[in-house]
Amino acid sequence: MNKNVGIWGAVLLLFVSQLYFISNSQKNDPVVDQIRVSQNNLDVKLSHLQTQLVAQNSVLKNDFIALEDETYLTRRMVKKLADEDKKEDVERISERISSGDFSFVAEDFRNSIVLVEVEIDFYGETETGGGSGVFIDSLGYILTAQHIFEDANLNTISVTTFDGETFTARHVGYQEDADIAILKIEGSNLPRLRLGNSDELKVGEEIIAIGNPGFFDSYDFTVTKGIVSFMNREIDGLNFLQVDAPLNSGNSGGPVLNTKGEIVGIVQFGDFFTEGIAFALTSNEIRPIMRDIISQDRARLSTI
């Protein structure tokens, strides 16, 4: 028994001695020491890089915030300049109209007006009918009057600009009760006119109308001047402007403009015309109809 204990004690002592020897040998091993130094250096460098990354992220974040602020200020400045330019244009237009000078109309707005032509069936004979229209979208949507296309072949619609350029037009849609139609040509950056707020008009306020009376061969777009004779004349449940500008059937579908150069009405005749009196459907009646027709057309095209 004592002999076995002595043997195992000797073995244990030898094992502990070996561990002590190995441990001391690794401590004194230059290769191991070098590895440890290199490891420490790598740890220091890694810590330094992490510190640099945190600092750079902070700088980038600050730069991004500064860029956002600069972009916001730039947008505000651009909007302010645009508003100032628009205000100057409105003031210039209003001043010239107030002085009785309408010469700028032919220069600024005539390219937004089109002559509309279409083949119609007139008692079994094919003849050319039509009227006027106005670009209300830079991509080629045109606002006009629907009665122009009564008994017409809708595949034969064409529009001609003041510059004499002719386009084939597509009949997009219409609202019969309001006598409003929308046409479309293929184009871009076209000179459109905006719809104004017809409720802001006052009786006696000067207006101008641009259209194509009589379908003269030269397609001269005529500008006429008048005043608002009556506001919100209700006819068949719709509100019309009554104006005294000299107009005739060729002006049908053409715009009536306020002193800002905005569309406040679309000329309509039919049963509503008496000599010296013309009626235009108000822009506030037109706006929801126009938007509905155009949105339906765009939705339909998106599915093709």
- pLDDT tens digits for 255-293? 999 888 899 999 886 444 456 688 899 999 999 999 999
Regarding whether 118 and 71 lie in a shared domain, the answer is no
Report the distance separating Cα 11 and Cα 202, nearest Å: 118
Regarding whether 167 and 69 lie in a shared domain, the answer is no
Active-site residue, selected from the candidate residues 147, 158, 229, 249? 147
Residues 265 and 239 sit within 8 Å (Cβ to Cβ):
no
The model's pLDDT over 103-155, given as tens digits with 9 standing for 90+, comes to: 665 567 888 999 999 998 888 888 888 889 999 998 999 999 999 898 888 99
pLDDT for the residue 245 = 82
Among the three residues 101, 136, 166, which one is the final residue of a domain in this structure?
101
pLDDT band at 170 (very low <50, low <70, confident <90, very high): very high
Active-site residue, selected from the candidate residues 112, 132, 158, 179? 179
Regarding whether 295 and 210 lie in a shared domain, the answer is yes
Query: How many domains is the chain partitioned into structurally?
Result: 2
Assigned domain for 74 exists = yes
Whether pLDDT at 202 is above 80: yes
pLDDT for the residue 46 = 74
Name the amino acid, one letter, at 257. L
pLDDT band at 217 (very low <50, low <70, confident <90, very high): low
Regarding whether 216 and 166 lie in a shared domain, the answer is yes
Residues 120 and 127 sit within 8 Å (Cβ to Cβ):
yes
Residues 297 and 189 sit within 8 Å (Cβ to Cβ):
no
pLDDT mean over 60-70: 62
- List all residues 6 or more positions away from 202 whose beta carbon is below 8 Å from its beta carbon: 228, 231
Regarding whether 79 and 224 lie in a shared domain, the answer is no
Among the three residues 48, 82, 101, which one is the final residue of a domain in this structure?
101
Task: Indicate if 108 belongs to the active site.
Answer: no
Active-site residue, selected from the candidate residues 158, 198, 229, 252? 252
Long-range contacts of 97-106 (CB under 8 A, 24+ apart): 97/206, 97/208, 97/259, 98/206, 98/259, 102/208, 102/223, 102/225, 105/208, 105/210, 105/223, 105/257, 105/261, 106/221, 106/223
Query: Which segments of the chain does DSSP mark as H helices, in order?
Result: 2-27, 30-98, 103-108, 283-302
Regarding whether 185 and 137 lie in a shared domain, the answer is yes
Task: Indicate if 179 belongs to the active site.
Answer: yes
Assigned domain for 294 exists = yes
Q: Which of 30-34, 45-49, 157-161 has the lowest mean pLDDT?
A: 30-34
Report the distance separating Cα 47 and Cα 31, nearest Å: 24
Report the distance separating Cα 147 and Cα 158, nearest Å: 16
Regarding whether 92 and 189 lie in a shared domain, the answer is no
Task: Indicate if 171 belongs to the active site.
Answer: no
- List all residues 6 or more positions away from 114 whose beta carbon is below 8 Å from its beta carbon: 132, 133, 134, 135, 142, 159, 160, 161
Regarding whether 144 and 256 lie in a shared domain, the answer is yes
pLDDT for the residue 98 = 57
Residue 142 sits in a domain whose CATH number is 2.40.10.120
Provide the percentage of residues in the chain whose pLDDT is more than 90.
25
Regarding whether 218 and 86 lie in a shared domain, the answer is no
Whether pLDDT at 97 is above 60: no
Assigned domain for 42 exists = no
Assigned domain for 50 exists = no
Whether pLDDT at 35 is above 90: no
Residues 180 and 266 sit within 8 Å (Cβ to Cβ):
yes
Residue 253: give the domain boundaries: 107-302
- List all residues 6 or more positions away from 162 whose beta carbon is below 8 Å from its beta carbon: 110, 111, 113, 219, 221
pLDDT for the residue 259 = 80
Regarding whether 154 and 242 lie in a shared domain, the answer is yes
